[in-house]
Amino acid sequence: MSYSPYLLKDQKALVTGASSGIGEAIARYLASSGAAVAINYHSEAESAQKIVDDIQANNGEALAIQADVSKEDQVKAMFSQVLNQFGTIDILVNNAGIQKDSAFVDMTLDHWNAVIGVNLTGQFLCAREAAKEFLRRGVQPHISCAAGKIICISSVHEVIPWAGHVNYAASKGGINMMMQSIAQELAPHKIRVNSIAPGAIKTPINTSAWDTPEAEAKLLQLIPAKRVGNVADIAKAAVWLASDDSDYVNGTTIFVDGGMTLYPGFTENG
Ligand code: NAD
């Protein structure tokens, strides 16, 4: 994986839930674009360290930080560690997310709270800590024309209702309004806040949706592009949103979904 090694030169980034899947790819792409990257992980210490080692072997800068993003004290400690190590932060990628699926009437309060806690509260807590540092430091024109960039990993389910996944869809719908409201509030300070809404991407979170030919064929009926996405599709969009190439993009969601939100069921007149 490679990108212009100067695009994000001297910028400092934190990616949450970066020990696997989309977060891992974003962390690797940010690093190969020149950013120093903090790899947040929840429980996969070995995977996180392997990513750090790989980045360092390519002359990049990285560190792994354990934290549960749904816990305020752990998020604050994680940001202290990032600021101690890197001096500041320029890019936050709010990626950590979980699913706990069930029929609506069987959904426990624990499963509701767990998903909202990681997917929505976790993004709020991390965005707030990042914004404090962006505001304290302000713009450094030799680094970036923004005082900071926040990228929220949402989902097509911020707009597509999802039976059997009410907690997940509610968390992703919530991210949209949270992202836009933060963007509206902080835009005058030259802080940019945007979301990426992935469609179906092959990662551990959704293995059962693509790991047999039958499952993949069923999934492809929902994707006009007729391929399941890969983590690089999302990572490339994240690098662009983190860079000054997207300086006039603020408060929006970029759908990287092979057209999943085009309602393919209506192709033949519904
Ligand atoms: P994944 O399971 O590989 O990644 C999720 C990551 O979040 C894991 O590394 C996990 O350890 C971490 N995590 C879970 N709880 C955490 C916590 N409390 N604190 C910190 N980290 C925690 O799956 P993925 O597909 O790479 O998911 C990444 C993001 O992309 C999620 O927000 C997910 O909702 C979103 N997304 C994925 C798809 C897809 O098709 N894969 C589609 C739309 C949106």
- Averaged over 212-229, what is the pLDDT? 95
Beta strands 36-41 and 148-153, pairing class: unpaired
Asked if residue 108 is part of any domain, the answer here is yes
Contact yes or no for 38/248 (Cβ under 8 A): no
Best mutation site among 98, 120, 222 for ligand 1 pocket (most ligand atoms within 8 Å of CB): 98
Q: Taking 50 as the threshold, does the pLDDT of residue 72 lie above it? A: yes
Residue in the block written with tokens 């749904």:
70
- The best mutation among 14, 19, 20 to test binding of ligand 1, ranked by most ligand atoms within 8 Å of the C-beta, falls on 20
Beta carbon of 174 within 6 Å of any ligand 1 atom:
no
Which whole number is the average pLDDT over 237-252?
98
Residue 1 has pLDDT above 50, yes or no: no
* Residue 228 backbone dihedrals phi, psi, to 5 degrees: -75, 145
Tens-digit pLDDT profile for residues 10-44:
999 999 999 999 999 999 999 999 999 999 999 99
Would 176 be classed as within a structural domain? Answer: yes
Q: Give 66-114 as a DSSP string.
A: E--TT-HHHHHHHHHHHHHHHSS-SEEEE---------GGG--HHHHHH
Report pLDDT for 5: 87
Q: Is 42 in the pocket of ligand 1 (CB under 6 A)?
A: yes
The answer to whether residue 266 is domain-embedded is no
Rounded to the nearest whole angstrom, what is the distance from the C-alpha of residue 17 to the centroid of ligand 1?
A: 6
Which is the closest atom of ligand 1 to the Cα of 98? Answer: 14
Q: Is the pLDDT of residue 3 over 90?
A: no
**Residue 267 lies inside a defined structural domain of this protein:** no
Lowest mean pLDDT among 6-10, 60-64, 262-266: 262-266
3 annotated active-site: no
Atom of ligand 1 at shortest distance to CA of 209?
A: 40
pTM above 0.75, yes or no: yes
Q: How many domains does the chain have?
A: 1
Separation between Cα atoms, residue 94 and residue 16, nearest integer Å: 6
49-66 average pLDDT score: 98
Which region holds residue 258: left if phi is over 0, alpha if psi is between -120 and 50, else beta? Answer: left
98 domain residue, yes or no: yes
Say what the pLDDT of residue 121 is: 99
Give the CATH number, domain containing residue 153: 3.40.50.720
Q: Please state whether beta strands 148-153 and 91-94 pair in parallel, antiparallel, or not at all (unpaired).
A: parallel
Taking all residues of the chain, what is their mean pLDDT, rounded to a whole number?
A: 97
Q: Which of 3, 29, 41, 168 is catalytic?
A: 168
User: Quick check: 2 pLDDT over 70?
Assistant: no
> Domain residues for 253?
12-257
Query: What pLDDT score was predicted for residue 222?
Result: 96
DSSP 38: E
Confidence of residue 270 (pLDDT cuts 50, 70, 90): low
Residue 213 is predicted with a pLDDT of 93
The predicted structure's pLDDT at residue 4 = 87
